[in-house]
Chain A
């Protein structure tokens, strides 16, 4: 029961840290003004256009596609496989399981392999491509190691050493409804969950901030209409009224 308590507490802490950390960062990004119009042109001239541009960027990695087809392929496969895997995991947190979660279950089961393959390919680039090797730091390797660890331990449980999934689900639901249940003391599961905990703690203080960051990137989220509409940041507006400013 000690193990279950430790993990329960850690999950609460990690969730709180993740939520508060992300909220803090997002608030910071949102609050910081963008003094000038700097969309990378050609850029959409309407707000709808910007939403579409952002959608293409987030859903298809449009810019990455323009840049490098291999990186795009590995990156896209990894991210979308991960998305499927995460969605599939909702089945452990819902009772009854939502029907659409059931629907993706067959795909989600195999997505783990695609996720792992994508990660390994991305990691290989960090060794094989001289330029990428040069820019890779210890944290970049560790991050990949962490994700590979999560994917691999997950696949282990799914296909090699099954864990007591019913008990695990009881534990997860217990966390949500504050009705704690024992966590199966299964080494692979403990490893899997520990790595996920680390990921949750690392997320708001690492490069994983690219996930919320992309939505705040002025070169991607600004409308190209500077002639039509005067764009002015509050600190810049203050300069307008200074003695030597305005006229």
Chain B
């Protein structure tokens, strides 16, 4: 790896000096023609790409009020300049949210405004050149669409919307990103980001059931494609096999088990993630969301619950009703969809779970608010439930909990550094640097409050942290799933010996 291997921890909120162009070369692999074409995008950069790009921008301006208002509204007040973790981690001025927006805004001004057409120099309007496109490709892939900047902008200008639009334009001229587009292809073909087919999924989950039984002595089921189940669980596919995700899945299964719920996962919609949000494609996002609708209809479930995944929850909570609704075929007694944390918290409040907090006494926890959950969604009935409910669960299952610095949590939370389609090895440098604000805040509570572990409710966060925490001198096993904590604390009723025997024998007989 390059020279960013060991990164000193900043003092909190030290704003870097500008270092123009340091991250210019950081750009992800370009999607291969096959990956592009599978999504209906041109295979490679089209000849008249300038013309096409401007045409697409014009189309998006017609379709999105956010884009139109945000292109006009920025007053260059600078309030957002020190809010992006990628700027704080790199010092590259083009990672300041307003400067990132300006990469698109200067083109907007040049081709769509009076002042930019006639006085380009005055208002910073520029022609769309190859250099501009290169900057787009680099810097719009150094934005995790975390919306932190939008919290602090006096007009709520959301750079995520602008990055999404820029990526949508680039896809349409044939310059897509390999990571996102390849993954979307897999979802369309197989049903999940990992390309895990039905058979493999069923086998994996059967193995997992055995593991749980070996460990707890209780047969906790993880049903797949079970028609007529009440609940469809849609969870990120990382939950099916990766650490620490899988411990979260075990947690959901134990919660469902103890609640006596009838539930299932679907192999057709075996993915909560919807990477189409990252590439800003409404059409793609709709196609992926419709898989979940179809699975729910085919299985005849009554409710849909989402597992721990940040952007997936944003798409599910904020967009799914729009994209694939109305969900009037589900039980109207429950919100559609629900978050697993809402479900678990409800059970805890009704005293339906037997919990032994001391099972987590070997840990002191802190909680990482995932950006998409924090600033793009909600849990429960009141604003801010997305902060309170996960914390309430942690406190119900753990004795030791400490929050990180107030400016780095809840609505001000820092992205893990790997969101927005950046969780790929070809972007390791920006991922590592972008994680520094979160790592700094974590280090502080590790030092001052003896925090040993950080819980998260996002597959991307968990993967990213497991990968980069060692760079910051923190062990990769220090990131845990929230439902892993629930899993530890939950006390299952162990059936009497002979019953277990009988069941096991039966299993053998039918195997």
Residues of A bordering B, CB below 8 Å? 25, 28-29, 32-38, 40-45, 49, 57, 61, 63-64, 66-68, 71, 75, 125, 129-132, 134-140, 142, 205-207, 209-210, 213-214, 216-220, 224, 226-233, 235-236, 239, 244-247
B258 contact set on A, CB distance < 8 A: none
Instruction: Decide if B82 touches A131 in the complex (CB within 8 Å).
Output: yes
Give B294 Cβ to nearest chain A Cβ, in Å: 7
Instruction: Decide if B81 touches A205 in the complex (CB within 8 Å).
Output: no
Instruction: Decide if B326 touches A230 in the complex (CB within 8 Å).
Output: yes
Supply 8 A–B pairs (Cβ within 8 Å), ascending by A: A32-B61, A63-B153, A67-B152, A132-B78, A214-B154, A230-B325, A235-B63, A245-B286
- Known A-B contacts A32-B64, A38-B66, A41-B386; the reply to A135 vs B335 at CB < 8 A is no
The 8 closest A-B pairs by CB, nearest first: A219-B156, A42-B383, A67-B152, A213-B73, A132-B78, A67-B79, A131-B81, A220-B156
What sequence of 0s and 1s flags, for each residue 71-107 of chain B, a beta carbon within 8 Å of any chain A beta carbon?
0111111111111000000000100101100100000
Instruction: Decide if A37 touches B322 in the complex (CB within 8 Å).
Output: yes
Question: Which one of B68, B154, B376, B412 lies within 8 Å of A38 (CB-CB)?
Answer: B376
Q: Is B375 an interface residue (CB 8 A)?
A: yes
B70 contact set on A, CB distance < 8 A: 217
A34 to B319, CA, bound (A): 12
Give B84 Cβ to nearest chain A Cβ, in Å: 11
Q: Is B239 an interface residue (CB 8 A)?
A: no
Instruction: Decide if A230 touches B382 in the complex (CB within 8 Å).
Output: no
Question: Which one of A42, A67, A135 lies within 8 Å of B76 (CB-CB)?
Answer: A135
Q: Is B378 an interface residue (CB 8 A)?
A: yes
Q: Is B150 an interface residue (CB 8 A)?
A: yes
A57 contact set on B, CB distance < 8 A: 154, 156
Interface stretch, picked from B115-123, B206-214, B440-448, B491-499, is: B115-123
Instruction: Decide if B318 touches A226 in the complex (CB within 8 Å).
Output: yes
Not counting A40-B150, A219-B66, a sample of 20 additional A-B residue pairs whose C-beta atoms are within 8 angstroms of each other reads A32-B63, A32-B64, A37-B319, A38-B161, A38-B376, A41-B383, A42-B384, A42-B411, A61-B154, A66-B412, A68-B78, A71-B77, A75-B77, A134-B96, A135-B76, A135-B96, A142-B122, A207-B72, A231-B321, A245-B286
Give A145 Cβ to nearest chain B Cβ, in Å: 12
Chain B 279-305 interface residues, beta-carbon cutoff 8 Å to A: 282-283, 286-287, 290, 294
Chain B 249-289 interface residues, beta-carbon cutoff 8 Å to A: 282-283, 286-287
Instruction: Decide if B156 touches A217 in the complex (CB within 8 Å).
Output: yes
A41 contact set on B, CB distance < 8 A: 374-378, 383, 386, 411
B99 contact set on A, CB distance < 8 A: 134-135
Instruction: Decide if A213 touches B321 in the complex (CB within 8 Å).
Output: no
Instruction: Decide if B382 touches A207 in the complex (CB within 8 Å).
Output: no
Q: Is B473 an interface residue (CB 8 A)?
A: no
- Closest B residue to A28 by beta carbon equals B68
What sequence of 0s and 1s flags, for each residue 36-68 of chain B, a beta carbon within 8 Å of any chain A beta carbon?
000000000000000000000000011111101
Instruction: Decide if A129 touches B78 in the complex (CB within 8 Å).
Output: yes
B242 contact set on A, CB distance < 8 A: none
Instruction: Decide if B76 touches A137 in the complex (CB within 8 Å).
Output: yes
Instruction: Decide if A205 touches B113 in the complex (CB within 8 Å).
Output: yes
- Closest B residue to A130 by beta carbon equals B18
Instruction: Decide if A32 touches B96 in the complex (CB within 8 Å).
Output: no
Contact size class for B? 35 or more
A246 contact set on B, CB distance < 8 A: 290
- Known A-B contacts A131-B78, A205-B115, A245-B286; the reply to A213 vs B18 at CB < 8 A is no
A32 to B68, CA, bound (A): 8
B82 contact set on A, CB distance < 8 A: 131
B115 contact set on A, CB distance < 8 A: 139, 205-206
Instruction: Decide if B65 touches A138 in the complex (CB within 8 Å).
Output: no
Give A38 Cβ to nearest chain B Cβ, in Å: 6
- Closest B residue to A64 by beta carbon equals B154
Q: Is B158 an interface residue (CB 8 A)?
A: yes
Instruction: Decide if B321 touches A138 in the complex (CB within 8 Å).
Output: no
Instruction: Decide if A224 touches B64 in the complex (CB within 8 Å).
Output: no
Question: Which one of B79, B290, B411 lies within 8 Å of A68 (CB-CB)?
Answer: B79
Instruction: Decide if B68 touches A64 in the complex (CB within 8 Å).
Output: no
Q: Is B355 an interface residue (CB 8 A)?
A: no
Instruction: Decide if B286 touches A239 in the complex (CB within 8 Å).
Output: yes
A28 contact set on B, CB distance < 8 A: 68
Give B467 Cβ to nearest chain A Cβ, in Å: 28
A220 to B18, CA, bound (A): 30
- Closest A residue to B116 by beta carbon equals A205
Give A119 Cβ to nearest chain B Cβ, in Å: 13
Question: Which one of B65, B72, B81, B378 lies within 8 Å of A224 (CB-CB)?
Answer: B378
A92 to B383, CA, bound (A): 47
A244 contact set on B, CB distance < 8 A: 287
A235 to B161, CA, bound (A): 18
Q: Is B175 an interface residue (CB 8 A)?
A: no
Instruction: Decide if B81 touches A132 in the complex (CB within 8 Å).
Output: yes
- Closest A residue to B115 by beta carbon equals A205
A175 to B491, CA, bound (A): 83
B150 contact set on A, CB distance < 8 A: 40, 219
A210 contact set on B, CB distance < 8 A: 72-75, 154-155
Give A243 Cβ to nearest chain B Cβ, in Å: 13
